[in-house]
Amino acid sequence: MGYDIIGDVHGQASKLEALLEGMGYRLKAGAFQHPHRKAIFVGDYIDRGPRQVDTYRIVRAMVESQNALAILGNHEFNAIAWHTADPAGAAQGHFLRPRHGETGSKNRLQHQHFLAEVEGTRLHDEIIEWFLTLPLWLDLPELRVIHACWHDDYISELKPLMGPSQTLTRELMVRASRQGDSVFQAVEGLTKGLEVALPDRHAFLDKDGHERRNVRIRWWDENSHSYRDLALMPDEARMSLPKVTVPAQSRPTYDQCKPVFIGHYWMQGKPVLQGSKIACVDYSAGKGGPLVAYRWDGESELSTKNFFVAGGPDA
């Protein structure tokens, strides 16, 4: 069985249709299908794009007809949290993802295209229920898929707490929404990427002018070692970081036992591998870039030739 691992769609249903058709999938009985391949979606189906519900319908129909597998991205996690009453503040109308105040406005803005299509409808509930059925990762016999970072310790911590097939339970949703809870850290690490604390006294100002003492890193990059080289941030801010080695215990080393596919990182340019067994398939379809897939045919060493690009850049 060949797998086509598809990047973050972010409501760009037209790009998704073009990509699937370009790879030989055809719409039959309501679901895109291929005679001898399956699609795997790396998460982030919603937010930003013009066809939120259509994207959901395409992906769900493929999953339910066994033409695709799909995992949870941080945008689906946020959507569930937005829609779930906080048991500690339900009487005050609080939700797991804040809807009020400055944070609430920021959260609503990020979610606005999705809310514009579904807010207050029965369909909204239905979509959230379906998001809760999505696993946080796939560990198939031949390959792995996770939205942002394959991290053995976080995975081992969550596994015994999860529902069948690596899904988030309501209880886990609550813990994953409480900063300081180990479940929060694990879910955030897996779906948003690995964050490391800067060494003593180092801090930088983020794009909103807030002081930050943690940075997200390119966890897959085994050739770089310092905060400055590993940090994921605009070059100008990055150059202010110390050329000090990130401690080995703060970084996962990928065990290389099989290929792992990720999304999430808003890559640009021509698709490249992150390692011989690591490939990111997110090329910013949600921000004007193309939707990208990796067409996997059983190889244990990945090849740049197997990236498939469709539907971009935006006109």
Q: How far is the CB of 11 from Mn ion (least distance, A)?
A: 13
Among residues 31 and 292, whose Cβ is nearest to Mn ion? 292
Among residues 68 and 146, whose Cβ is nearest to Mn ion? 146
The two three-digit tokens of residue 11, written as one number:
């409501």
Q: How far is the CB of 43 from Mn ion (least distance, A)?
A: 6
Among residues 17 and 44, whose Cβ is nearest to Mn ion? 44
Residues 52-81 as x/- pattern, contact with Mn ion by CB under 5 A: ---------------------xx-------
Residues ≥6 apart with Cβ < 8 Å to 82:
95, 96, 97, 99, 107, 111
DSSP 96: S
Residues ≥6 apart with Cβ < 8 Å to 39:
3, 4, 5, 6, 20, 25, 32, 62, 67, 68, 69, 293
Candidate ranges 114-122, 156-164, 259-267, 306-314; the one touching Mn ion (CB under 5 A): 259-267
Q: How far is the CB of 8 from Mn ion (least distance, A)?
A: 6
Among residues 83 and 147, whose Cβ is nearest to Mn ion? 147
Among 44, 47, 76, 117, binds Mn ion (CB under 5 A): 44
Nearest Cα to Cα of residue 185 among 202, 193, 162: 193
Give the total of residues touching Mn ion (CB under 5 A).
Answer: 4
Q: How far is the CB of 150 from Mn ion (least distance, A)?
A: 15
CB count within 10 Å of CB 211 equals: 8
Q: How far is the CB of 75 from Mn ion (least distance, A)?
A: 6
Among residues 83 and 264, whose Cβ is nearest to Mn ion? 264
Structural contact between residues 254 and 155, judged by C-beta atoms closer than 8 angstroms: no
User: Alpha-carbon distance 209 to 109, whole Å?
Assistant: 19
Helices (H) and strands (E) in the chain, counts: 11, 15
**219-246 burial by CB neighbour count: b if 16+ within 10 A, else e?**
bbeeeeeebbbbbebeeeebeebeeeeb
Residue 264 lies near Mn ion (rule: CB under 5 A): yes
Structural contact between residues 16 and 288, judged by C-beta atoms closer than 8 angstroms: no
Q: How far is the CB of 249 from Mn ion (least distance, A)?
A: 26
Judged by CB under 5 A, the chain residues 194 through 253 that form the site for Mn ion are none
Q: Which residue is nearest to Mn ion (CB)?
A: 264
Q: How far is the CB of 216 from Mn ion (least distance, A)?
A: 12
Q: How far is the CB of 35 from Mn ion (least distance, A)?
A: 31
Among residues 6 and 31, whose Cβ is nearest to Mn ion? 6
Residue with tokens 């999430």: 264
Candidate ranges 43-51, 86-94, 158-166, 239-247; the one touching Mn ion (CB under 5 A): 43-51
User: Alpha-carbon distance 40 to 3, whole Å?
Assistant: 7
Among residues 67 and 263, whose Cβ is nearest to Mn ion? 263
Structural contact between residues 46 and 82, judged by C-beta atoms closer than 8 angstroms: no
At position 295, the amino acid (one-letter code) is: R
The two three-digit tokens of residue 150, written as one number:
């394959």
Among residues 25 and 47, whose Cβ is nearest to Mn ion? 47
The residues of the shown chain that bind Mn ion, judged by CB under 5 A, are 44, 73-74, 264
